[in-house]
Amino acid sequence: MANKSAAAGEHAYKKIDKDVRNNNIKNLLLLFGREEFLIHWAVDMLVKRYVNEACRDMDFSRIDGASATFEKIRNDCETLPFLSERRVVLVSDFKLMEEGKMKGFDEAEERRLIDYLKHIPEYCLLIITSGSVDKRKRIFKAIAEAGGVYEFGELDEKSLKAYIEKRFREAGKTANPSVVAGLIAASGYYDKDTDYTLYNLENDIKKAVAYNEGPDISMEAVEKTLSGNMDTDVFAMIDSLGRGRKEEAYRILHNLLVSGEQVYRLLALLCSHFEIILSVKEMKEEGKSFSEMKDILGIHEFRIKKAAAFAEKHSVARLRRILQESYEIDKSIKTGLLEPSLALELFIAEI
C-alpha cells in the first residue's frame, strides 16, 4: 500500500524515517513521486543505515533504470554483502514503472522480474525509484504486494514552512512567518501543474541567504532572488502592473526575453493569468469566497488575493478588453505582424 501523505495523513518522508528507526524496512522498496529531492534523501538515509561506509563500493550497487535488465538486477541482488548489514541495490529512475513499454525490456523479461521480486534474498535491499508510475502495471502491483511503496508527493503547508524555517536556521538566519508564507506563495509551489519543487526551493533559499546581509531574511531578499519558473515571473510582472509599477514590469519582461524564454509560452501564460484575474473578478461579484475560488481555480490563495487586488482596479468590461487585447497580441506575433518584444511592451503600456 502506498504511503501517500494525502491518503494516509502522514508524508512518505516521515513514514520511511519511522520505518528505518523501527527496523521495519522490507527488502524491496519503490520510491516515487514529484519530490525527487526527498527520494534522494531517502535513498541516502537507507544506504547510510545498512551499508558500512568502508565497504560502500562493494556493498552498494547503482543501476541506471533506463538500461536495466533482469539479469543485471538479479546478479547484483544475489551478490553477498561483504561487511555490511545488507547489500543495497538501487535501480534509479526505472522506466519500466512508467506508462507504456520500456525499450529493451520485453514482457517475458518483465514476468521473470516480477517472479524474482518474491524471492529477493534477505541480505539484499532492492530500491527502485521513479518520477512517475503506472499503478495499473503488473510490476507496480507486484512490488506493492511483496514490498514497501512510498509516494513522495508535495509537502503539506505546515511541513513546508517547517522545512524552510529549518533551512534558514541552519544558515544562521531567521525569517518572520509572513516572509516564509510569502516565499511559498510567490514560488508557486502549490500551483496546479507547477514544476517548482524542493530542488528549486533549496536554490532559492541559498540565494536569499546570500543576498540578505542581516540575520533576518527580508521579503525583499526573497523577491530579488526567487527564481521560480516562467509562470512565477509572469505573475510577478502582472502584480507589478497592478501596483502601478510599470518600470518594474518592463524589467521583468526584459529579463524573460533576454533569458531566452519561449515567446509563445510567455504569451500563453499572459493570457492564462488574465483569464484568472477575470474569473476572480466575476466570482467575487457572485459572492464566492477566496477559499471557494481556490478550489475552483486550483491555485494558491495568495495568488487569488493578488489577482483580486488587480481586478479591483478594473471593471469586468475592462478586464475582458485586456484579455481580448492579450489574445490579439498573441495573434499579431504569431502571424508576423509585430515583433515580439515590441508587441509585449506595447501591451504593457496600454494596461
- The 10s digit of each residue's pLDDT in 272-298 is 889 999 999 999 999 999 889 988 887
Does residue 38 carry a pLDDT above 90?
Answer: yes
Asked whether the whole model's pTM tops 0.75, one would answer no
Strand partners, 31: 129, 150
Does residue 246 carry a pLDDT above 60?
Answer: yes
**Residue 229's pLDDT band (cuts 50, 70, 90):** low
pLDDT at residue 259 in the model: 62
Helix%, strand%, coil% for the chain, nearest 5: 60, 10, 30
pLDDT at residue 271 in the model: 87
DSSP-assigned letter for residue 165? H
Q: Give the residue, 187 or 180, on which the prediction is more confident.
A: 180
User: Would you kindly state where each structural domain of the chain is located, as residue ranges?
Assistant: 5-151, 157-225, 230-350
Mean pLDDT, range 150-164, rounded to an integer: 93
Burial profile 299-332: b = 16 or more Cβ within 10 angstroms, e = fewer: bbebbbebbbebbeebeeeebeebbeebeebbeb
Cα gap 209→204, rounded to integer Å: 9
pLDDT at residue 6 in the model: 39
pLDDT at residue 134 in the model: 95
Does residue 303 carry a pLDDT above 80?
Answer: no
DSSP-assigned letter for residue 336? T
- CATH T-level topology, domain 5-151: Rossmann fold (3.40.50)
DSSP characters over 241-300: HHTT-HHHHHHHHHHHHHTT--HHHHHHHHHHHHHHHHHHHHHHHTT--HHHHHHHH-S-
Does residue 195 carry a pLDDT above 80?
Answer: no
Cα gap 219→255, rounded to integer Å: 20
Rg (CA), the chain: 25
Q: Please check whether the domain covering 157-225 is classified as CATH 1.10.8.
A: yes
Most confident of 112-121, 185-194, 337-346: 112-121
Does residue 146 carry a pLDDT above 90?
Answer: yes
Cell readout for 153 is: 508527493
**Out of 3.40.50.720, 1.10.357.10, 3.40.50.300, 1.20.272.10, which CATH number does the structure's domain 230-350 have?**
1.20.272.10
Mean pLDDT, range 328-345, rounded to an integer: 85
Does residue 8 carry a pLDDT above 50?
Answer: no
Cell readout for 274 is: 488574465
Q: What percent of the chain shows pLDDT beyond 90?
A: 56
Does residue 2 carry a pLDDT above 70?
Answer: no
187, 236 contact by CB (below 8 A): no
**Residue 66's pLDDT band (cuts 50, 70, 90):** very high
**Residue 228's pLDDT band (cuts 50, 70, 90):** low
Residues 6 or more apart whose CB falls under 8 angstroms from that of 53 comprise: none
